[in-house]
Amino acid sequence: MILLLGGTAEARDLARVLVEAGEEVVSSLAGRVARPRLPVGETRVGGFGGVDGLAAWLVEHGARAVVDATHPFAVGISGNARAACARTGTPLLRLERPGWSGEPGADTWTWVDDVAGAARAAAGLGARPFLTVGRQGLDDCTGPLTDAAVLARVVDPPEVPLPDGWRVLLDRGPYTVAGERALVAEHRADVLVTKDSGGDLTRAKLDVARELGLPVVVVRRPSAVRAPGADAPEVAHDVAAAASWVRAVSGAR
C-alpha cells in the first residue's frame, strides 16, 4: 500500500495514475477544507497524531512507501512524514510543483518570508490589495491592512474577524486570465499579494498583474523542514516522475 499525503491537484492526478496502474493507494487529506476535491481510490481525512501516530499507522497498515504531495507551505505534515519514514525505514518521496521564481518579471516582485511581512509590504505599495494567501494567513494581515480596501479570496470562510472594509470572496481555482482580469478591474486592485504556491491552477493572477503593471508581493516557500540531510526525501517535480518512483519502489520490495 502507498500512502499519498494529498490535497493538491498533483496528489489527485497521481492517485488516479497509480490506481489505474493497479496500485493500492490511500490518500490522506488534512481536513482543513470543508468541501475538498476527493481523489480516486481510498481516502482518509484528518491528522495522524504527530510523528508517533504516523509512524504507528505506517507499520500497522504495512505501507510500502509514502508520497508527500501536500501544499508547498504545509511544512507540519511534511516534517512529520520525514521523521516517521526515517524511524520506520519507509521510502519517502516529496512531489512538489516548481515555484514561480522563474516567471517573467519575478525579479521585480517583492519577496518576503511570511504573510505578516507581505501585509506590511503591501501596505506601502497600494490601498486596494488583492490577497490570495489563504484564510489561515488573514489574521496576520489585519493589522497592517486594517484601513485598506482589501479583496481577500479564500476557499472557506475565514475563522477570524476581519475589518469592516474588507471584502471576502469564496472561490477556488482553476482561474483564467479573463476571469482574473475582470476581478482585478472590478475591485480596482492596485497590488497583488500571494504565496509562491506554484502550478498552473492559480498562475493567471500573475499574468494579469504583469499585464497591468501591478506590484506583486510574494511569500517565499518555507525551506527549513525540507532542508538537505540524511533523512531528506527524494524530490519529484511532476506526476510522471512520481509514478515512476512508486513503480520502482513497488518492484524493489
Do 132 and 152 belong to one domain? yes
- DSSP bridge partners of 167: 151
Angstrom distances, CA of residue 172 to CA of 101, 112, 169, 230: 23, 24, 10, 37
What pLDDT shows up at residue 93? 96
Domain that residue 169 falls in: 106-219
What pLDDT shows up at residue 225? 47
Do 186 and 235 belong to one domain? no
Residue range 177-211, pLDDT digits in tens: 999 999 999 999 999 999 999 988 899 999 999 99
Classify residue 168 by its DSSP letter.
Answer: E
Quick check: 153 and 136 in contact, CB under 8 A?
Answer: no
Do 136 and 91 belong to one domain? no
Do 85 and 130 belong to one domain? no
Do 118 and 210 belong to one domain? yes
Do 231 and 155 belong to one domain? no
User: Does residue 252 surpass a pLDDT of 80?
Assistant: no
Do 208 and 150 belong to one domain? yes
What pLDDT shows up at residue 88? 96
Number of domains in the chain: 2
Maximum separation of any 2 CA atoms in the chain, in Å: 59
Do 228 and 183 belong to one domain? no
**How far apart (Å, rounded) are the C-alpha atoms in residues 94 and 82?**
9
**How far apart (Å, rounded) are the C-alpha atoms in residues 142 and 163?**
7
Domain harbouring 37, CATH code: 3.40.50.720
Do 226 and 215 belong to one domain? no
Do 114 and 176 belong to one domain? yes
Do 27 and 72 belong to one domain? yes
What pLDDT shows up at residue 46? 86
Do 228 and 214 belong to one domain? no
Low-confidence winner among 48-52, 197-201, 235-239 (lowest mean pLDDT): 197-201
Residue range 137-193, pLDDT digits in tens: 899 999 999 999 999 999 989 988 999 999 999 998 899 999 999 999 999 999 999
